[in-house]
């Protein structure tokens, strides 16, 4: 296969993966009864452990009003807690208390398959894939910023 055909195949596979990932999150939302933006927030907090409302807004792409409603839902569900920042009492920190059980089960189901797929690649290939994902995430964030700046 020539380089041009390989690139076209890769781009098509990226679109296919993106659609599948979107459908996967939608399906998780339906099964768990947790709104998809709430899932994105919980995923972000599972890495960051805590964040301000502004940081959650940037991570989810939501407006300040929508972020407040999301935090209210998650706090009422017992998944997050609002706390005053110890350094700046005007600032509120949203702290993760736990991931919903249904969401944990889905994450575990998905995560169990990943090692089998990764076992097919050597260390250099895994580093290449990791680097690719980091660069693509940066591209997405850059494009999001440009699209929002045009509004």
Does the residue 151 lie in any domain? no
CATH number of the domain within which 38 lies: 1.10.10.10
Does the residue 137 lie in any domain? no
pLDDT in tens, the chain (151 residues): 799 999 999 999 999 999 999 999 899 999 888 999 999 999 999 999 999 999 999 999 899 999 999 999 999 999 999 999 888 888 999 999 998 888 888 888 888 999 999 999 999 999 999 999 999 999 988 998 899 887 6
Give one DSSP letter per residue of 20-62, joined into a string: HHHHHHHHHHHHHT--HHHHHHHHHHHHHSEEEHHHHHHHHT-
pTM of the model: 0.79
Does the residue 143 lie in any domain? no
Which range marks the domain in which residue 52 is found? 3-120
The residue to which tokens 């944990």 are assigned: 104
- Specify whether the CB–CB gap between 95 and 83 falls below 8 A: yes
Does the residue 136 lie in any domain? no
Does the residue 135 lie in any domain? no
Does the residue 82 lie in any domain? yes
How many distinct structural domains can be found in the chain?
A: 1
Does the residue 15 lie in any domain? yes
Does the residue 134 lie in any domain? no
């Amino acid at each position: 296969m020539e380089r041009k055909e390989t690139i076209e195949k890769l781009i098509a596979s990226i679109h296919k993966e993106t659609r599948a990932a979107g459908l996967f999150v939608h399906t998780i939302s339906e099964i768990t009864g947790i709104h998809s933006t709430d899932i994105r927030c919980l995923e972000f907090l599972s890495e960051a452990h805590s964040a301000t409302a502004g940081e959650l807004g940037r991570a989810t792409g939501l407006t300040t009003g929508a972020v407040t409603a999301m935090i209210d839902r998650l706090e009422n569900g017992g998944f997050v807690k609002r706390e005053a920042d110890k350094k700046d009492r005007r600032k509120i920190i949203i702290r993760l208390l736990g991931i919903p059980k249904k969401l944990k089960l889905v994450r575990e189901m998905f995560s169990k398959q990943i090692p089998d797929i990764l076992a097919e690649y050597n260390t250099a290939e895994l580093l290449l894939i990791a680097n690719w994902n980091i660069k693509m995430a940066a591209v997405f964030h850059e494009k999001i910023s440009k699209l929002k700046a045009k509004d």
